[in-house]
Amino acid sequence: MPLVLTASRFQHPFGGARLRPSELAQLRLIPQTILDEGIATYEYFLREHGGLVDPAQWEMFKERERLTIYKRRDYMPQMYSSSVHEKQPDMLMVGTVEGSLDDMMYGVVNHTTELMRIKTAYVEDGNINGAVVATLEEPTADEPFRSMTLKWALRGDLLHVRSTVRNRDLVYVEKTGTTKLRSGERVGYQLVRSVSIAGVPTLDWAHRSFTSILAVFRERWDGGVDVYATTMLDTHHDIPRSLIHRSAAEAMISVWKYVHCGRMKKLCWYLHSRRSEIESTDQKLCENGICATCASKFSFLSGAKKKWCLMCSNRVCSSCRVKKTICGITDEGHLRQINVNLCGRCLGVVENADAHALASAAISTRTSEGEIMLGQTEKLFKRSRRFQSDPEPRLDHFTRSA
């Protein structure tokens, strides 16, 4: 019974999965070794190859924005091991994403099931269900992007062949954070590594797949973030190789939306931290008849009274208005997407805000991002209906096909 829509509420099907202390200890050790090796490989790539891809080894597979994905040219089926530990990367992605490293990492970190669901909505990574099975390391105020979790995810990127191929699921450890290269340069990372755990058994309606992904993010001196990511694939079943490459590429290319995810999380934090001020302005919205951005006058027929910046409550014309979609979790735990209007000034404030400082503040005040988004969702929904001209937010649903 393959899942046909992304689940509105992410949850795993393993009940009260419990791991032995020895299993938890082992899970904490595995990622660090792989991370150290991956960072060393990245430094070699920069030092010996100047950050350039060798066309003799890699063939271009997919492009989006300024990111390019390559697949290895010398792939030989008979050499494909059943253990990811013995393999070389099957795919490589390099390129640049606009934004800051901290915005990127704020979009990367998703250490709770709620944040995992919200991240999927923003970046469209191909997950249609999933959950955090166990928390191995939580972010701290000093290291707000550092996390380690055991996760389960159900992939939905093979729906066009679901009559012959079941959806694939993965059980993996995800480790995120920042570290320093030998040069002292700060970089971010995201490591995904499949694991086999007795408490998370295989499911009869999904193929259990295995993968290993390491992404390294390095801020450029002239702006933007350089991306370097490698993927190793191992499916243990007879899904066509072309489909596996396509699926992996879609998951990898979602990195280009990580900065957007981080900025939308910052927007939610701003709306949460200024909630008292925002609520107090509901009854005293700016009543002058000009756009707060370009100072153009509104006509009676312009419908201007429906066009307000959600942050500052000033009027904004259609030309200056910026529409954004933010994601939150309802009281019932479901995803809700809300269309909101902003003025350019407020959007600039959000984009330029220090993501590291905001994430640290949330942890210091013991205010989880899930709580921020949960608490704001219904208020934003009501406010957007009163003062915005966008359609009603969408509430996704979860269904199964026979």
Top pLDDT among 36 and 207 is at 36
What would the pLDDT profile of 105-143 be if each residue is shown by its tens digit? 999 999 999 999 999 999 999 899 999 999 999 999 999
Task: Judge: domain 21-258, CATH 3.30.530.20.
Answer: yes
Closest to 90 in 3D by CA, of 109, 110, 73: 73
What would the pLDDT profile of 246-305 be if each residue is shown by its tens digit? 888 988 999 999 999 999 999 988 887 765 555 555 444 455 678 878 877 776 555 545
The Cα-based distances of 387 to 157, 260, 302 in angstroms read: 37, 24, 14
pLDDT band at 393 (very low <50, low <70, confident <90, very high): very low
Tell me the mean pLDDT in the region 138-160: 86
| AA letter at 351 | E
Closest to 372 in 3D by CA, of 300, 287, 272: 272
Top pLDDT among 276 and 208 is at 208
Q: What is the pLDDT of residue 235?
A: 53
Around 331, how many Cα atoms within 13 Å sit in the side-chain half-sphere? 3
pLDDT band at 386 (very low <50, low <70, confident <90, very high): low
CATH of 264-393, one of 3.30.40.10, 1.10.10.10, 1.10.3720.10, 3.20.10.10: 3.30.40.10
Q: What is the pLDDT of residue 358?
A: 93
Q: What is the pLDDT of residue 300?
A: 58
Tell me the mean pLDDT in the region 91-118: 96
Domain ranges of the chain: 21-258, 264-393
Structure tokens at 344: 């350019």
Query: What are the phi and psi torsion angles at 190 (to 5°)?
Result: -140, 120
Closest to 379 in 3D by CA, of 303, 276, 287: 276
| Segment of 161-170, 267-276, 392-401 carrying the highest mean pLDDT | 267-276
Give the global pTM: 0.85
Q: What is the pLDDT of residue 246?
A: 86
